[in-house]
Amino acid sequence: MTASTRELINLPPWLRPSIGRASDLSTVQRIIKQRGIHTICEEGRCPNRGECYSNQTATFLLMGPTCTRSCAFCQVDKGHAPMPLDPDEPAKVAESVALLGLKYVVLTAVARDDLPDKGAGWFVKTMTAIRDRTPGTQVEVLTPDFWGGEQAAEQQRQRVATVTRAQPACYNHNVETVYRLQNPVRRGGRYDRSLAVLQSVKAVNPAIPTKSGLMLGHGETEAEIIETLKDLRAVNCDRVTLGQYMRPSLAHLPVQKYWTPAEFDRLGDVARSLGFTHVRSGPLVRSSYHAGEEP
């Protein structure tokens, strides 16, 4: 028995989700494969993809399947020379949204530090294409931090503003973990930069809901989680997701702790007491889980 097989067998029972109906999975997989586009549901092997597909939601991964960052928790492929942008990708995503009858779509992306605007304009192009094709579909964005170059802080603000002015239904950017664990977990991301993204959204349009998320299980303490929640509320972050980190392979960071459903429930209550208006807290929760639902 391999080490990875033993780790899978030893998962707590609450981390063994149903894969969903085969028809829901195969329909989405066929449509995205035919068009050469990607979803984080598939690239990240999300445990909830069957449930989300059946509920008419999906999270599209823009700008290719290769990320210029090398975060130690992430399943997505890494590389310094990602593929050129597909000029037809926004239209392909919009067509897929229409074919699947999606009512709520989340657009995320690999980090593209190689692009002059780090991909901010591509989010806007894709949002526009979706709205042109299916005006009733709501679009949430889950962006990278858009960091890079000289005068990086100001450029980051401008890129965030570009996406914010396109009026997403929600602007999501994940801090991923607590302050102490940023370097070993994120490798390229920074806690203050992530808080700055969320703060910049509110500076441009206070009415747009902002959201962030944490993966638990990297060795953080409950006190550190609560401190992070307070930091998010300090920049007027409205919504939060808390989920369990699950090791994609033996090449990724090992899990330090499996938080129990009861612990997630307690942390969710803390988040609500701090003023978050939309809280999802549970072992299988991910950034886009039930994204289109009201609190």
CA–CA gap between residue 127 and residue 120 (Å, rounded): 11
Q: Indicate the pTM of the whole model.
A: 0.87
Q: Which residue has the tokens 């612990």?
A: 263
Q: What angle do CA 42, 47, 51 make, to 5 degrees?
A: 90
Contacts of 21 (CB under 8 A, 6+ apart): 50, 54
For the chain, domains (ranges, CATH) are: 18-281 (3.20.20.70)
One pLDDT digit (tens) per residue for the chain, 295 residues: 344 444 555 788 888 655 555 555 666 667 767 677 776 555 555 565 666 666 656 688 898 776 666 554 555 555 565 678 999 999 999 999 998 888 889 999 888 888 899 999 999 999 999 999 999 999 999 999 998 765 689 999 999 999 999 999 999 999 999 999 998 888 778 899 999 999 999 999 999 999 999 999 999 999 999 999 999 999 999 999 999 998 766 667 889 999 999 999 999 999 999 999 999 999 989 887 666 665 4
Give the tokens for residue 114: 């190689």
Contacts of 192 (CB under 8 A, 6+ apart): none
One DSSP character per residue, 215-267 reads: EE-SS--HHHHHHHHHHHHHTT--EEEEEE----STTSPPP-----HHHHHHH
Give the tokens for residue 39: 């979803």
